[in-house]
Amino acid sequence: MPASDPALAGAAAVALTGLAEAYRPRPVTPLLPWRDPHRLVKPYIITARGRQWDDQMVEFARAGASRQLDFDDAMGSVGLAVAVLHLSDDGAYLVVHSWTKDYQSRLSRFSGVDVDDLRPVPTGVAPSVWELEVLSHERTAYVTHILSGGVDVDAWLEDALDTRPQPDPQGIPSGT
């Protein structure tokens, strides 16, 4: 890796190269929206290679997100939120992001060995690059469909990120 800036030479260049070589995109799966009284939530699941999810995991994530969103409601939420369950190589993470008044948002993050063991992460711990991919998409969807689009909640709900691998239409037919 050429280091064009001396600050990125030596150990920093080696660290960046190692990160770049090890990085792999992870599939993002959108789920059906959670419709709660006075609240709509767009849930997602991100999975590291070899990780599987099931309905029970989704229910644990939904329960944890709902507890956080109840608090967010008391802090001025406008009723639209995103929940990201990330099944990573090293555990499970839940990111809860809700939109609030005055163009602000609230972000809470939880982690655990597994989904049924999620606890709040220390203050200052930010979302991973995979979680930020979802949050970036959702920021754009919120501005496009809510702030700039005449409050089109249906369009906002439909605008979901889906990065799961798609079958190659030119591939070998399965015969089914």
Position 14 pLDDT exceeds 90: no
Q: Does the model's pTM come out above 0.85?
A: yes
pLDDT digits 0-9 by tens, 20-68: 999 999 999 999 999 988 999 999 999 999 999 999 999 999 999 999 9
* Res 80: pLDDT: 98
Segment 80-87 mean pLDDT: 98
As a whole number of angstroms, the distance between CA 126 and CA 21 comes to 22
Beta carbons of 69 and 94 less than 8 angstroms apart: no
Average pLDDT of the residues of the chain? 92
Q: Which residue, 143, 145, 167, is CA-closest to 156?
A: 145
* Res 173: pLDDT: 66
Position 12 pLDDT exceeds 70: yes
As a whole number of angstroms, the distance between CA 30 and CA 142 comes to 16
At 150, the amino acid letter reads G
Beta carbons of 28 and 74 less than 8 angstroms apart: no
